[in-house]
Amino acid sequence: MEPRDVVAVGGSAGSLGPLRELTAALPPDLPGSVLVTMHVGEHARSRLPWLLSRSGPLPATHAEAGERLRPGRVYVAPPGCHLLVPCGVVELSNGPKVNRTRPAVDAMFASAARWFGDQVVAVVLSGWLDDGAVGAALVAQAGGLVVVQDPKDAAQSSMPRATLAAAPGAVEAPAGQLGELVAGMLGEGGLAAWPRPKQPEVSEVSMEDSSNLQFLSPDETRLTRLACPDCGGALAEIVLPQITYYRCHVGHQFGPQSLAVAQVEAAEAKLWSAVATLEETAALARHLASHTDLGDDAAGQRGRTADWAAGLAESLRAEVGDGRPRGSAEVAGGGQA
């Protein structure tokens, strides 16, 4: 059998410690490449490669576009770029955000699943919401293996729990056991002999090449009436056996929990925009009423418009409050601990 030769590791809040434990336990002659995506700000200065190089025997660097993957090395997604691996060559993508983040774990997992199929071990560590769950499901569908930090061992259990729901065959382990477990999945022995179902090929089709106004990519199930929180485009639904996710034709993609939170944030932004518009309407109406010879009737109408807009703005501002409905994080799944 061919060896599994790509380990893809993703995490968010609370994942640095487990990631360092994992890499510290990997052997120096690891017969596979390690890809790492952690949620970082797009303009952050990341010292993660330096930390990982000091944690274990494998050299870690920020991935560089065009380099070919080599075994026994750790490739870290740099801030602001998705880490993709077409044909085993690093591609750093500035494409649409996935789950409102770039780099995203789902983007890395999906690329690894597409190009390496059953030679992938996907590892999900501590983190908020559900980035990684869809990608883990795709890895499992391609015949790869999925390993998840035990939610009870994770500082933030939402990402591990979402992944376990999306990939029910995933192996759970505490952080201290992940490195040994993953190393045993590579090469000819150990868990590399597990059954490997093949993922069906999905051709790439873009909306601009289609005349169909109800355009769907081959992997998309149906259109919805939901709008993308990032660009306003229509969202298509993609249904996998254990998880459903959403993508607009531009390429913004959301797991269910991430979409719920994104919609709350988009609604908040629209409400504050409405407050601003109403307050500006009131101010303009009062300005015109006091600085323009409109006659008593027109001035009175301007005054009533100003009062209406100001009253509605005040009510809306009070209703929006801190910008989040109570319990929204818990409903979206981000409140799990």
User: What would the 3-class secondary structure string for 173-212 be?
Assistant: ECHHHHHHHHHHCCCCCHHHHCCCCCCCCCCCCCHHHCCC
Residue tagged active-site, from 5, 130, 131, 153:
131
**CB of 250 within 8 A of CB of 215?**
no
Token reading at 52: 């990982």
Strand partners, 8: 35, 122
130 φ/ψ angles, rounded to the nearest 5 degrees: -135, 20
* 230 Cβ contact list (under 8 Å, min separation 6): 96, 97, 100, 248, 250, 252, 262
Please tell me the distance from the alpha carbon of residue 85 to that of residue 149, in angstroms, as a whole number: 24
Any alpha helices (H) in the chain, and if so which ranges? 16-25, 48-55, 105-116, 133-141, 158-166, 175-184, 256-291, 295-320, 328-332
Kindly report the number of other CB atoms within 10 A of residue 38's CB atom. Answer: 21
Calpha distance 218→157 (Å, rounded): 33
Is-catalytic flag, 273? Answer: no
Catalytic annotation, pick one of 5, 12, 55, 93: 12
135: left (phi over 0), alpha (psi -120 to 50) or beta: alpha
The yes-or-no answer on residue 219 being catalytic is: no
106 contacts 131 by C-beta, under 8 angstroms = yes
215-248 exposure pattern, b = at least 16 Cβ within 10 A, e = fewer: bbbebbeeeeeeebbbeeeebbebebebbebbbb
* CB 136 within 8 Å of CB 111: no
* Active-site residue, selected from the candidate residues 5, 39, 111, 252: 39
Torsion of CA 52, 100, 82, 58, to 10 degrees: 10
150 belongs to the catalytic site: no
As annotated, the active-site residues are 12, 39, 131
